[in-house]
Amino acid sequence: MDAPANAPVDYLLHLADNALVLGQRNAEWCGHGPVLEEDLALANNSLDLIGQARLLYQHAATLINADPAEVQRFAHLQGARQNGQITEDTLAYFRDTAEFRNHTLLELPHHGALVGYAVAERDYATTIARNFLYSAFMVLVWQQLQASSDAQLAGVAAKSLKEVRYHLSHASDWLVRFGDGTDESHARAQAALDHLLPYCEAFWSANPAEDAAVAKGAGVRVAELRDDWNAIVHETLSEATLQRSDTQPHVGYVAQGHVGLHSEHLGFLLAEMQSLARAHPQAVW
């Protein structure tokens, strides 16, 4: 009998990068939440996502260290190894922007489209709309990945599914509250959806890492989840009296973060997140 197949490293990194980048974005609300309860809620959301990322990076690091070809592929991270090994910290803190494989949606700042010279406060409606759209997606992904041929990934999926179900419930409740609230809250929620929905098209686009994972029985073909995602989105938006926009999906690099072509925002996020580790690459915390 063939041994169970591990997920490809690039597939694990895609999942981990998604969780890490959104966790970092949501953590930016710490100390800035609109009310104390939401300050804590977004902090807990971030901890869940960063915890998911850690488990995935740890698994990826183990696979890299066991495969000479992967060791060579990540040889440029030599200076960031600990005891000669790739670690979760190596993968989170020492890869450059183009090496990250998160969806562009997750790296966007907490406001809608702005002219280059504009300054705006964080918009909680944008954060909530993004968390809703992504959590609706990941509920379906983690549910399917519980059957992955990669036993460790299946275990991460089972744990993460419980967390993301709460994330979806939290975001859905707030989106309904905004949409069915005041004229101001409705307008902000609608503007956030109009801004973010086009980026969700990238969920269903070609992904070489996904293709390799599906071929091994370790991954899920996310395009097959689109109807279920649309059903979740439609149900909540109907309750919130919000509309699906007819805006055309973004094309080109703007929505191609999952293949390493990012917006200008990820570089700034990583610079802040990685600065301490890069200043002291051999530090032990």
Residue 132, in any domain of the structure: yes
CATH number assigned to the domain comprising residue 124: 1.20.1260.10
Q: How many structural domains does the chain have?
A: 1
Structural domain contains residue 168? yes
159: in domain: yes
The answer as to whether 250 is a domain residue is yes
Domain that holds residue 239: 9-279
Please give the chain's pLDDT, 285 residues, in tens: 355 689 999 999 999 999 999 999 999 988 877 787 888 889 999 999 999 999 999 999 999 999 999 999 999 987 777 778 999 999 999 999 999 999 999 999 988 766 455 556 678 999 999 999 999 999 999 999 999 999 999 999 999 999 999 999 999 999 999 999 999 999 999 999 999 999 999 999 878 999 999 999 999 999 999 999 999 999 999 999 999 975 565 544 457 888 888 888 999 999 999 999 888 887 766
Which tokens is 141 given? 């992904």
C-alpha span between 96 and 75 (Å, rounded): 14
In a domain, 2, yes or no: no
